[in-house]
Amino acid sequence: MTASRLLDEIAGVGRDRARGGYSRHAFDKVEGELRTWFAERAGRLGLDVDTDRNGNLWAWWGTPGPDAVVTGSHLDSVPGGGAFDGPLGVVSALDAVESLQGKGFVPAKPFAVVVFVEEEGGRFGVPCLGSRLMTGSLDADKARGLRDPNGVTLAEAAVQAGFDPERFGADPDALARIGRFVELHVEQGRGLIDLGAPVAVGSTVIAHGRWRFSFSGQGNHAGATLIGDRHDPMLPAAAMVAAARRLAIATGDGRATVGRLVPVPGGTNAIASTVDLWLDARVPSGDRTRTLVGEITEAAKEAARAEGCLVAVTEESYSDTVTFDSGLRDELNARLGGVPELPTGAGHDAAILAAHVPAAMLYVRNPTGVSHSPEEFAEVDDVDHGGRALADVLEHLST
């Protein structure tokens, strides 16, 4: 079944009526449905499906073993996300296996399709949760204690979904089996539109991270409290959002975003007692990312002082700049007959794996240039083109 038809099969799963688009998160009911669908689809191709200690799904073509050629992506989404970010890489992987099988190809090396858990951090806040746990770059105790917006811990959610959170943690055996990893992904930007090309090879991922800013003040009555008597944490929060934009512009090429803000108690006629917000900051170099976050933190502290409020800042995740393996990139590019190489501002499981194994990415043109939004898109022809490119490089790598 083609990648587009496979995407159609899951088009009804996890639609978010309130936000639009899809909300598919780690260990929720929707993700469970997608896991079942994946296992069923992989099973029809004769792949053997198992789940590793961190809940990542593996579908093996032939006997699992070392030096495997591995491809795949993720099935979770941001809240109200698009249909392609993640699932496109998974369906293209299944499609590639089917087309290779169709022409009688048998891989000479172990071969697997993987689905990583919670790549977006949409529920528990830390992106690339499954690959970070597997590689040991996220401490298992810290992971188990992560909470979703309703206060449910990752450990509790895992138990509810039938997983054993005590098994979470570094999985050197699973990691050691990966020889080379290739992730296909919808492009999250305008690079391929501007170049007029359907497919690119990934070059770099810029440094990025997430920081929680907790502003606290005095909750009070919106009508009865004189302006001069207030310690309203929404004021420094708003000032920090504006400072983040101003300071990001000053870097020349950095990005700073506040996409999530939670006032407590959250009543129209109540001055908030606390406001938590999350800063997503990304600059091409790690040092410059940390400098930007430092400057934004100073602006937040200054604004909090001016309102008689406090602010606490916590780093929730951080990833340094990643340059994908140049040898593997060259191999892919030679096999594809010369395609553009593109940097990205988006994080990926492939970038987490890149610190341990040769990893590469293929991007498929997104005609809207929009991602993490329902407007994210890929034309059927480009999806087919990407699927053929993926099959081609997997055949080459596993011959």
Measured distance CA(46)–CA(39) in Å, rounded: 10
Query: Least distance to ligand GLV from the beta carbon of 63, Å?
Result: 33
Site membership for ligand GLV, residue 76 (CB under 6 A): no
Q: Identify the burial level of 12 via C-beta atoms within 10 angstroms of its C-beta, where 0-12 means exposed, 13-18 middle and 19 or more buried.
A: exposed
Site membership for ligand GLV, residue 346 (CB under 6 A): yes
Chain centre to alpha carbon of residue 319: 12
Q: How many residues lie near ligand GLV (CB under 6 A)?
A: 4
Report residue 198 as tokens.
């359907």
The listed partner (Mn ion, ligand GLV, none) that binds 205, CB under 5 to 8 Å by sort, is: none
Site membership for ligand GLV, residue 95 (CB under 6 A): no
Task: Give the amino acid at 51.
Answer: T
The listed partner (Mn ion, ligand GLV, none) that binds 86, CB under 5 to 8 Å by sort, is: Mn ion
Site membership for Mn ion, residue 280 (CB under 5 A): no
The listed partner (ligand GLV, Mn ion, none) that binds 382, CB under 5 to 8 Å by sort, is: none
Task: Give the amino acid at 221.
Answer: H
Q: If we measure between CA atoms, which residue out of 236, 250, 202, 199 comes closest to residue 92?
A: 199
Measured distance CA(236)–CA(306) in Å, rounded: 8
β-strand 199-205 against 359-364: which pairing, if any?
A: antiparallel
The listed partner (ligand GLV, Mn ion, none) that binds 122, CB under 5 to 8 Å by sort, is: none
Site membership for Mn ion, residue 217 (CB under 5 A): no
Site membership for Mn ion, residue 376 (CB under 5 A): no
Site membership for Mn ion, residue 85 (CB under 5 A): yes
Report residue 7 as tokens.
């995407």
The listed partner (Mn ion, ligand GLV, none) that binds 127, CB under 5 to 8 Å by sort, is: ligand GLV
Chain centre to alpha carbon of residue 285: 19
Buried b (16+ CB within 10 A) or exposed e, 101-130: eeeeeebeebbbbbbbbbbbbbbbbbbbbb
| Footprint of ligand GLV on 129-188 (CB under 6 A) | none
Site membership for Mn ion, residue 118 (CB under 5 A): no
Query: Least distance to ligand GLV from the beta carbon of 182, Å?
Result: 18
293 or 336: CB nearest ligand GLV: 293
From residue 32 to residue 71, the character string flagging contacts with Mn ion as x (rule: CB under 5 A) and all else as - is: ----------------------------------------
Site membership for Mn ion, residue 165 (CB under 5 A): no
Q: How many helices (H) and strands (E) does the chain have?
A: 13, 15
Site membership for ligand GLV, residue 82 (CB under 6 A): no
Site membership for ligand GLV, residue 127 (CB under 6 A): yes
- Between CA 258 and CA 353, with CA 73 as vertex, the angle to 5 degrees is 85
Segments of 320-378 assigned E as strands? 322-323, 341-344, 359-364
DSSP H/E element including 36: helix 29-44
How many CB atoms are closer than 10 A to CB 8?
Answer: 13
Q: Is the peptide bond before 265 cis (omega within 30 degrees of 0)?
A: yes
Site membership for ligand GLV, residue 349 (CB under 6 A): no
Site membership for ligand GLV, residue 276 (CB under 6 A): no
Query: Least distance to Mn ion from the beta carbon of 94, Å?
Result: 17
Q: What is the DSSP letter of 26?
A: T
The listed partner (ligand GLV, Mn ion, none) that binds 347, CB under 5 to 8 Å by sort, is: ligand GLV
Segments of 139-224 assigned E as strands? 178-186, 199-205, 207-216, 220-221
Choose, by CB under 6 A, the member of 347, 358, 386, 387 that binds ligand GLV.
347
Query: Least distance to ligand GLV from the beta carbon of 135, Å?
Result: 17
216 or 321: CB nearest ligand GLV: 321
Site membership for Mn ion, residue 110 (CB under 5 A): no
Site membership for ligand GLV, residue 120 (CB under 6 A): yes
Judged by the rule CB under 5 A, the positions of this chain that interact with Mn ion are 85-86
Q: Which parts of this chain interact with ligand GLV (CB under 6 A)? A: 120, 127, 346-347
